[in-house]
Amino acid sequence: MSIGSVQTKFFHLDEPFPLDSGESFDAITLAYETYGTLNSDASNAILVLHALTGSQHAAGINKTLPGAESLWTDDCVVGWWDTFIGPGKALDTNRYFVICANYLGGCYGSTGPRSLNPRTGKPYGSQFPQVSAWDVIRSQLQLLDFLGIDCLHAVIGGSMGGMLSILLATRCPHRVKNVLPIATGLETTVLHRVHNFEQILSIRNDPKFQGGDYYDTEPPKEGLLLARIISHKTFVSLAIMEKRARQEITIDQPIGQFYELSNPIESYMFHQGKKFAERFDANSYLRIMDMWQRFSLNAQQPALFEKCAHQQYLIFSVDSDVCFYPEEQKVIVRALKAAQMNVKHITVHSDKGHDSFLLEPDLYAPYIRFVLD
């Protein structure tokens, strides 16, 4: 059963919000959505942390987003985890109160580079400060305080959202009972850094980027398109990529004066990049990518899970994942076992690669329900 129509809400923190970088906001806004009903003692809340380019719109139908209409394309209308959240689904809204917020630095309603800088009256652009993973978690804890939630029943996230879920659980262990990271890791690997740096350069080298101050002109969509092509090859398996290319895309798209698309794979990747460039902001991409580049939780640190004895962990791997390889989840599991934690590790067998956690709820739902119950 679907949740139906939903609307984004906005939490305004009207007080200074210091950042790890040493800079500070005078105030911040977080865009968020909730599904289900918070019970009387606020013990049934689940926080969902989205992936790199996700949004607060995790479930249901949301046809418009005030302030970000130009980015709210058809691809954004249905919640990105709609098959996981709702009555009777993995995150059962008949039982749980589910929250998802757009990250600080994002482009879907939370304070980000597109937002107006109150000191200048213009979009922050290049003046938007560096945001850390811990800044993001602290801002969402402020939202939980506003909602009256002292301790989450669970925090769950895939990819970058999984990294942030572990950060929340280990920095603030008293705020969560169950931790469900999916297809993620404890640190940014060398391969991540290389792929991410390629994407960063593709945006910064777009002539329309203009150092980040492009909001009164045309945005750097070519750079974003290329960044998405670079990243997309780690999200889906080659077999699925080939299958989708044969089924969905034609090759009649010109991409410039000196080169014509020569096969469906090129056309498919170009199409994915072009769609993405219509729905995301280049500055937000760079800020969140920078956050990823600087992320690290030292698995060898004995005290990492020292205060987490009351927590239960469910770690998911995807056997065909080439973004966060299954070996990365094994590092998490070893660290948890060394700390004598309650941990379950499930390897999902899928041909869809990293994106499996977005596309195949039946492979995850039974285990999620078991741990949440």
312-318 vs 91-92, strand pairing mode: unpaired
Q: 115 forms bridges with which residues in the sheet?
A: none
Cα dist. 116→14, 102, 126, 277, 329 in Å? Answer: 15, 17, 12, 21, 39
Q: Which residues contact 357 (CB under 8 A, 6 or more apart)?
A: 158, 159, 182, 183, 316, 318, 348, 364
Query: What pLDDT, on the 0 to 100 scale, is given for residue 140?
Result: 98
Query: What pLDDT, on the 0 to 100 scale, is given for residue 301?
Result: 66
User: How many Å apart are CA 207 and CA 166, to the nearest integer?
Assistant: 38
- Find, among 20, 213, 26, the residue nearest to 131 by Cα: 20
Q: Which amino acid is at 283?
A: N
What structural domains and CATH numbers belong to the chain? 9-188+297-372 (3.40.50.1820), 191-291 (1.10.1740.110)
Q: Which residue numbers are catalytic?
A: 159, 321, 354
Q: Which residues contact 14 (CB under 8 A, 6 or more apart)?
A: 27
User: How many Å apart are CA 33 and CA 155, to the nearest integer?
Assistant: 15
Burial of 41 (0-12, 13-18, 19+ CB in 10 A): exposed
Q: To 10 degrees, what angle do helices 160-171 and 282-293 make?
A: 50
Residue position matching structure tokens 């969902």: 48
Query: What pLDDT, on the 0 to 100 scale, is given for residue 229?
Result: 95
Query: What pLDDT, on the 0 to 100 scale, is given for residue 19?
Result: 98
Query: What pLDDT, on the 0 to 100 scale, is given for residue 1?
Result: 77
Q: Which residues of the chain have pLDDT under 50?
A: none
Q: Which residues contact 22 (CB under 8 A, 6 or more apart)?
A: none
Q: Where are the beta strands (DSSP E) in 249-294?
A: none
Query: What pLDDT, on the 0 to 100 scale, is given for residue 107?
Result: 98
| Binding site per annotation, positions for substrate | 228, 355
| Binding site per annotation, positions | 228, 355
Query: What pLDDT, on the 0 to 100 scale, is given for residue 252?
Result: 60
